Structure 1
């Protein structure tokens, strides 16, 4: 009768063989087939190899989670060390080397080929940009007219300005003493300079006489043709012309001012009726301002409109209205306002004090 005992196997890593020990004394060894030990040996080898890899991964994890050493907590060692200061001579030598390196034949850190490519690139770039800008400007200038705006959807009502205006930064203010020539001389000079183009001889030579109270339309001419302008003679301003009284009435305490309506291309003021001008005090009674005279009239005649622009209306001179304050109250600060009145005129704008009106301070002393 044959007895069977238990066998204990011992694994030897790296050899791929197994040894069997009989656990029961005197038991006969179990006879196996020749192929069985080889298959079992290969399976055990793979299993042991996987265990070894798992142990290595676990050991690496333990190493990563080990506490930091005292030397690792010294953060000063990780700070970048300051660069040693260079002397002036070393800096000059470094600059010379940067400007021209004789060893590498480089100028400012680049070789001749590199500089050539950079110059070629930027030259081509800027030439292209300049050509594109020039082409856009040519297309723009070709598409618009130099004589009239392409789009003119809305024409604002005209503004009103006055002369003389010596100190515009602080508003229009006229303060003088009639007996003191130095106090009003600047006003007389400003008016004389403003009225110089309106001399009668200049107007007769440049402009033509027109029919009054009607628009001087010249739409039938070609767009680029020069338009005729109507005469406005300086002598029509009477005592405010400066031809008889060089002081424009300031020496007599009867100052004159000149009003002019702003130019608007193609604008027909008044819609067939002349626009008129009125002047008065904004605060106080009208008696403090006294009598007010207008020359040649208190209107802007229609024959000076429309305006065709400076390229076509070369000799155009805007019509004027002269205002003379005959007997203003002396040594009184007067706040005077002159306004345009007519169809389509706005003279009470809260945001634009020059739209259809002009205000100034007047004080006349003896």
Structure 2
């Protein structure tokens, strides 16, 4: 038989058995942590309180209204801060650097622009275009030209035709005989070009005279009303200037007028002054810098027997070599069209 332990031995065995009892404490702690984690997860899924849904508290609170005196003081401080010695928020050094920068910038831009203009003016001639290989044939203009190419008047009503007579007078004033005698020379080489290419490029070219008196009954010297008071109106036709252009290829350019819409017999007889041609002696044109006193030749047309109260659409055309007068896109190229209604 085994001996029974004594009381002392029993206590010692009891003390030796106590340490394994700590394991349940660890299990409890671990279980407690799991409980806390579960509580946190539950808290995350809990619905928000009403205070949490109140977003008004996150809005920016309005600033208190400032008085006019405070605003004026702030403006004064912004313009000049006596404490920091700053003008409009910048010190004197800062303003100096800014002004220096912009002065250098704009000086550079001005120099670059001036250099570009200088190179451009240096590369082109002021007397003739560098490229003129696409110059179109000349167009034609007419006078009087008031708010379109419409001439409507009654011969017995001075108010209805006075504006046309005034326009004719303005167009013919540079052709006064006295002015032509002073400025231009009398040319005798009819039917030939007046070439002056042998002169220096910058030398002034002479121009042939074209006197107002050559227009006869349409000159305004015999009849200051240009036939409008008699129901026999006059118009002026002029070919556009083109620098260096030689019209007709050696032959004069002829002018004709015909009815485009309306009865042809209503047009009656036409008179042309001084002739129905543009003489070659007025060409070529050398530009306004060299042909200072140049006067473009004109052809005056007088409708001496036009039928009263008959609307007519009349077309006057240039005819000659190298002339285009039937362009579908440009009605002023080599021709001009106008309406004429003469009342009694």
Q: TM-score per shorter chain, which class? A: 0.7 to 0.9
Tell me how far apart the structure 2 counterparts of residues 257 and 127 of structure 1 sit (CA, whole Å).
Answer: 56
Query: 1:69 Cα shift?
Result: 4.8
Moved more, 355-364 or 253-262: 355-364
Tell me how far apart the structure 2 counterparts of residues 206 and 175 of structure 1 sit (CA, whole Å).
Answer: 37
Match of 2:184 among 204, 207, 213: 207
Query: 1:343 Cα shift?
Result: 1.7
Tell me how far apart the structure 2 counterparts of residues 274 and 140 of structure 1 sit (CA, whole Å).
Answer: 38
SS for the counterpart of 1:282 is strand
Give the match for residue 281 of structure 1: 259
Tell me how far apart the structure 2 counterparts of residues 97 and 357 of structure 1 sit (CA, whole Å).
Answer: 74
Tell me how far apart the structure 2 counterparts of residues 284 and 247 of structure 1 sit (CA, whole Å).
Answer: 26
| Aligned positions of 1:97-136 closer than 5 A | 97-136=77-116
Tell me how far apart the structure 1 counterparts of residues 163 and 226 of structure 2 sit (CA, whole Å).
Answer: 11
Give the match for residue 294 of structure 1: 272
Q: Structure 1 residue 158 and structure 2 residue 138: aligned?
A: yes
Tell me how far apart the structure 1 counterparts of residues 285 and 219 of structure 2 sit (CA, whole Å).
Answer: 24
Unaligned runs of 5+ in 2: 1-15, 17-32
Query: 1:220 Cα shift?
Result: 1.1
> Is the helix fraction higher in 1 or 2?
2
Q: Structure 1 residue 352 and structure 2 residue 335: aligned?
A: no
TM-score normalised to structure 1 length: 0.79
Query: 1:279 Cα shift?
Result: 1.1
Q: Structure 1 residue 75 and structure 2 residue 73: aligned?
A: no
The alignment of Structure 1 onto Structure 2 pairs a total of residues equal to 305
Moved more, 330-339 or 118-127: 330-339
SS for the counterpart of 2:262 is coil
Unaligned runs of 5+ in 1: 1-24, 26-54
Give the match for residue 222 of structure 1: 200
Q: Structure 1 residue 149 and structure 2 residue 125: aligned?
A: no
Q: Structure 1 residue 331 and structure 2 residue 309: aligned?
A: yes
| Aligned positions of 1:26-45 closer than 5 A | none
Tell me how far apart the structure 2 counterparts of residues 358 and 82 of structure 1 sit (CA, whole Å).
Answer: 75
| Cα offsets for 1:40-90 (capped at 9, x unmatched) | xxxxxxxxxxxxxxx9xxx9xx89x94585455433333322323222222
Moved more, 246-255 or 202-211: 202-211
Tell me how far apart the structure 2 counterparts of residues 216 and 344 of structure 1 sit (CA, whole Å).
Answer: 19
SS for the counterpart of 2:169 is helix
TM-score normalised to structure 2 length: 0.83
CA RMSD of aligned residues (A): 2.1
